[in-house]
Structure 1
Amino acid sequence: MNDEQQADPGPGGTTPPHAYDAFISYSHAVDGSLAPALQRGLHRLARPWNRPRALRVFYDQSSLAVTEDLWGSIEKALRESAHFILMASRESAASEWVGREVAFWRREREPGTFLIVLTGGAIHWDDSTGDFDWDRTNALPQALRGWFAAEPLWTDLSWAHTEAQLSLQNARFRSAVGSLAAPLHGVPKDELDSEDVRQRRTTIRMLSAGVVVLVLALIATLITGYQAEQQRKEAVSQRQEARRQREEAERQRKAAEEQRGLASLRALLAEAETLRDSDPRKALQLGLAAEALRPTDETRGGLVTTLMRTRYRGTTALGRLDTLGDTALSRDARLLAAPDEEETLQLWDLTRADRDSPVARLGATTVDTGQVEFSRDGKLLAVAESKHGVRMWDVSTPSRPRERAALPGPAEVTGVAFAPDGHSLVTVGEEDKNGRLTVWDIRDPDRPRDRVSRTGLEDATDAVLSPDGRTLVTTSGTVRASEEPVDKDSITHRSGLTVWDFRNPQLPARLGRIDNWDAGPVFSPDSGTFAVGHRGSATLWQNSPGRAPRHLATLNGARSSVNALAFSGDGATLASGHEDGRVVLWDTAKPSEPKQKAQLEGHTDWVEEIAFLPRRDQLVTLDLDGAVMRWRLSATVPSRLAELPPAGYAVKATALSPDGRTVAMGGVDEQVTLWDITDRRKPVRLAILKGHSKAVTTVGFSHDSGMLASGGDDGRILLWDVTDRRHPYRTATLKRPTSVGSLAFAPRGRTLAATGNKFLFSDWGDGWTLVWDAGHDPPKPRGRLDGGNLSTTLSYGPDSTLVMSGTATSLIGASDTHQVKGGGGVLSRDGTMLATSGSVLEGSDESVVLWDARSKTHPRKLAAFQGADSVRQLTFGFHPEGRLLAVGTEETAAVWDIGQPSRAVRALTLPSDTEVVDAFHFTRDGRTMVAGAGDGAEVWDLGVLPAVAADPHGMACEITGSGLTREQWKHYAPGIPYEQTCLEK
């Protein structure tokens, strides 16, 4: 072994039992310069003359090779280190990697091997508690809480920043390094200082002696007479050295490549986490790049986390779009009308895959200061051409628009508005500084008729009609003054809007005026509220037909001007688009008390148009760069919708009906409670079923959801007709001598299997397993099965395979039985995968084992992972699509992404206030999970999790449209060959 392969001995000459004397754990963000300086100092202080270093110190940038298992490499280095040096700072205290390394050391080693170097933040000890004062300490990770029995010493290097300060020539830095090196060498600091002086003197003496020897060797060479032989040997030696140098250079090159790959991977993961909220598209692209570099559970987990947290759902880049004038989005966000640089109106179909050019141009139609507006059904488009009146186009076939009519108007028509019923069109504009409003009858779009015209409008730039058609708002962006320079006393007309009673379009009546206007107004769907934007805020106004508008609230907090506004279909959300590219979502369920609930960031220019898609949970936004973005509005992460408390005492069994509408809970109160969860957020208790004389231990529904079976400690199995869920009734009673442990209905018909014990007061004694035809009146026995007792659980696979699981799992088919080691066995909904507890398998330290169950007689082990603390029995539940697995233990409950079984990722952890989960049930559509526990049941909305687990890579590519470009790859992964992470569309 060379010096790079073996540990260097300390000053005493003995070889330590570990490959490394110390492991340095630090934050790359703040201690990237200090960590290598500290490593160099420990290498050089008291270094023997014949050794390359005094100590062997692990530092990841110089010691760690790139592997597919990043944490595995770090864990190996930790196990091979004698001491742990924590470079304590606020950043390292918050670092996930530092936290994992500290937690490992605490679990495996003694406090005396743990050294602390303070580089930032604060550390305070509290003698009264015998622990750090965690209210004042911010430089240490929480994993150190309660570990030290007495106050440990730590070295302060928070002052060391410059190159001069980070040298052993600096007395203060040398002293600090000595304080750390002393316990690593196992000698007092003063002896170490003496040893360092002695070693330096020895080195000088040896160098001097070496010079003398070289001189004598040279003289001897000159004197001796074997020049020819010496030259031949020298040539051979040089060739060997050259070959060795080439091999060493190649080894160093490969090591450098591996180190660059590891550094790039960690940088990609860290940058993706940083950008999740501010730039979700880039975060997804970075996650895809990390997945391409090292396909591990960490990279897959990072991609899954980003997909679950972001509301972003994709961008459409429209080629050659220049939105210099007014634009319009149809209500379904399918069509976009926008003028080009020459003010010719273009029509874009946002549903087309090819969006590099518009689908049509509307003839010679030009728009400079006029407005563009779609009818509510998206079939008509009105274009106010400012100096040429209004043109109406039929755009029901976007690629072939057809002009229907031209409406004359005042000298400058600037605003148009379609009536909700599509029968009328309102136009506004100015003629000789005199505002005019005209109402047109367009029931025959080819022959519109002038119904009413009114002049003298104060505000005539734009027009908006409420959804109920009873309120009209006209706006003006003009400010006039009587003299210059303009000041508040000389202003005769401010920008603003006028509200009209439009219940009688023949006689619109002025209700009031609101000063200051930049964007909007937009009405809520019920017409009861409208919003107006001005500079960096928006105001909400109550709208009552025939009454002046009343101010409800002002939405403040924006950093830039409001350019666009839109209400959601239910009116509970208002979206405001801003000049800095942000979109802010406001909770307007109670308009008088609005609250900001989210910000969507991703646009690079001001947001010009916003549209909520009807009957869909999506928002579409357009900016001046021509980027059309789609957003998901609801929470994408799983959320707890409701809790189902027990009617009496603790719950021992739960079941979900196959139709997903009913939850049954049985418990120690000797009764079964039925809950209606049709409305997931507002469950309703339906009925309480009584008939057991002891605790109810198991419940289950038939495949058609019309029958419920309940078993208890009284040895009874009760059958209930629950066709009418509010009025269920008992149909039969099956009696057994002792407790019933588990029961299950087959997937077809009403075959019922149940198991229990033959003897009282025994969980593990000889048991019974019986099968009945519960659809027969009275129930008819179908047979007896071997095995089973009170601790056995029963479930059925899709092909009527009965799964009997205790300390081992038996798959019982129509003609044969096969046993698999591992308890808690559950088949996936399609019968292709089996999950068991791995803690009972010989030689296995993994808690969850997944089996390929397509061949029931010879299941093949697919993967194993540490899904929970090692326990003998786990609770499992498969998602209908088979890509998610719920796992419950005595301490935790979590949902795992097993889309790739060998790279299982924990995707959801139920909160700590949830009691021990002993049952998981999923609805057939896969959107809802019911978790049963001792304190009742919880109803969970899984959000986007099932879709993410199905194909995180494909979803990320679909959302982003592409991976990193070659230039971006060079920036984020320098020195790593480019990889195309998404197939081009």
Structure 2
Amino acid sequence: MQSFARKWRQLRALRIFLDNASLSANPALWSAVEDHLRASRTLIYLASPEAARSPWVGREIAWWKAGDRARHLLIVVTGGTLVWDHAAGDFDWRRTDCLPREMEDMFTEEPRWVDLRWMTEEDIGSLRDPRFQECVADLAAPLHGRPKEDLIGEDVSQHRRAKLFTRGAVSVVTALAVTAGITSVVAFQQRDRARDQNRLATSRQLAATALNLSESDLRLASLLAIEAYRVQATPEAVSALNRLATSSPHLVRFVTSGKDVSELAFSPDGSTVAVGDEGGGVTVWRSDGSAVRGRTSLPSAVTALDFREDGSSLAVGDAKGALGVYDLAGKTMRRLSGAPAGVTSVAFDMAGNLAVGSEGGHVALYTGAKEKTKEVALKEAGVSSVSFWDEGARILALGANGSGVLLSVPELSTAGDSWGGVTPAGNYAAGASPSGSCFGYIKYGSTYAAGAVRPDEKKESKACGEFAWLPNKEARLFTLADAGRMAVATSTGITVVDTAGGSSGFENGGRVRELTGVGPPTLMRFSPGAGSRMASAVGRTVALWDFDQAARTAHSYGLRVPDVDNASRSLAIAAGAAGRVSWSGRGSGGPPHTWPLKEADGTLSSNDEDDGYAYAEALAYSADGKTLYVGSEKAVTVWEVSGERPVKSKTVELPVNKNSEVRVVAALAPRGDGRLAALTADGSVHAVDLATGRVRTTVQGKPPGPYDGLQGALSGDGRTSAVEGPGGDVSVYDVLSGRRLQTVPLGGEPVQNLFLSEGGGSLYVIGAKRTFARWDTGARRFRWRSDGAGAWSVKVSADGGKVVTLASDGTVTQWGAAHGDRLSSFTLPRAVESMNGMVGTGDQTGMALSPDGGTLWTVTEAGEVLSWDLSEKAWLTGLCRTAGRDLTAAEWQRYVGTGRPSRPTCS
């Protein structure tokens, strides 16, 4: 309206006061509005239900109505409904919702209004739209005191004059723009640099915040690490992404409930978990949090959950005595009548009968989970747990203090089978295992211990495990599994102990795990049996845990590795194109174990049913992954692996070193010219012609001590070798000519491990003092030196972007190839005791990187074959899968930037 029919020399055609935009900061707000109302001739009201509910709008309408200009009010309908009642001579206030009631009796006849409801925030159209121009003219005509048609004609004429003026000004502006463009380029460059600096600073700050939160709130920390990487992939962001992806290895996923979580329960096979909340809602999840299996509800807070033995249905009880059985297949809830008030526990037997305990000390029995057949009142003030014993012949009812009673079924008679409480005096936390077979307690304080009682023995017993003393912890919550595993919620998180002795069956007795990334939980539950899974809740968030999971970035294929060697040595392993992986155990006979990666399901299949274990010290694939080279003690064998099973095609004997009888192959590297480079443990380098079988020793090795090979390495393309010298320095050779290219000075520090990059441009050296350095063979200088690398193995991806080391304790560390910073580390799962009495996961493990560097393969004697995600894409996917949500608007504004999130973090 301010520009409608405006002459080109005018600033505006009309002066319009907007009370939400033109008002400057003024403590006397209403006085300022009143001054503007008094200075105005006409009031335009934009009618909508939101405006009608506004007290400020109503106040302005009331002021205007009371003056002498009440009829000078124009209505523009932007939303809602407006209806005139001709009989009443006023608006129909029963159907009109876009006008405030202050406008009642304001008009004596129906006013004309402008309808702009066809315009939306999503599609406002063009301001030169003829429909919009008509509406503007309807409003502007009475204000200008001119006919609407004349005003539209004037607007068209003025618009044409403005276009002519604009065309004339374009030439001048263009000339000025050329001059200004030069200045603008500089300004834009400065702006871009400022934006780059801002992105860099934001990324680094988000990464630092993510790491700070990782111990207490892994969910939020993961989302912030993702945002840090997406803002800019700085080394700090990559490191944060990696560390969070590998931290808290047993955590599977976070899921969210509608209200604060009040109860948890696992199905007997551990595949499903039910989450009940304070609002009465129940959500049934797969135990990995990947999908919801069902939803149901009761009127009040859920206090009891239990699955039937076959997992087909779920019993649910609430705080006010509502009771039901939810059918997971049919997604229906069947309510049961006559439940005791305040249900505290429910339990199924094998036949589907249901036992119910209450806070009033009552126990009820429902035959077939349909009709209540019996109910008894016990002496205990409340029943904390009920469970079936002796194949459903008796019901065990436990009190909160460890007192208990065995009731016969269906009579529910005690028959004298009861005992007093076994918990100590004073503050304690107590809990029962899922089956009720073990009851435990734990003392509050700086030091705590736990005891358990086997209810059938009616006394404290070690049958449920010997619980460890863990100092300097404040216990807040306690739960235990049927097989003796226990979990304690402390002020810093969760401590899980695999107890020793008794019936626990855990080989690593007394193992302690600190579960990081979650706050102190208010509720914890193990899955039945060994308790391999656990759910813990804080507020509305449930964390799902899997203690059989080695890491969140690891994948197991069920490929167990036998224990056949009596020496502690790493196994040979190689990863080739097309997802092929090969490894060799100790022993004799048969081809190496090789698995092609199936495209259908991404799983590995073994081909080693009856082949025994091939003796190999080194493995290498050809570039296309169809040929596997195997180095043993005396020779190199060539295997074709294009089919399902490798087939030996050639064997090439290696010459004997005149200085040593050692011919153990330490490394192999196929060249692109039909030759193969082979490095033996004495430091000899051999060039093998694969077509003729001819072997030429280009670098003669030195005589090592018994079984003490010299450290050496071959570049991935087989053109360069590096060999440890007698004085501690490392020599770099050309493989074909044997010519020494350069010497790497190490200052006398003995070499522990060497690795040459794909093209030989970088040499990675680990010294006896755990010094880790990258030598640039082109520049002939060290690019960086770091400390703390594991000396047992070092691997580098073909593109040089991934650097991984392995320590003898099984710690795998990833390093930044460009700067030598430690990015992250994780620990390989512990192997069972080997025949030589050693359990060194690191020194009995072989490692290989996939050609693209995105996957690390490990094989551990007496352990298994695992793959580990090393790509940023896999870390992003994994962290999103674990977090299970996006950053909220409030979290975005607090940590990332102002305003609404510019994109969803994960979904």
TM-score in terms of structure 1 length = 0.46
Higher-RCO chain (CA-CA 8 Å, sequence separation at least 6) = 2
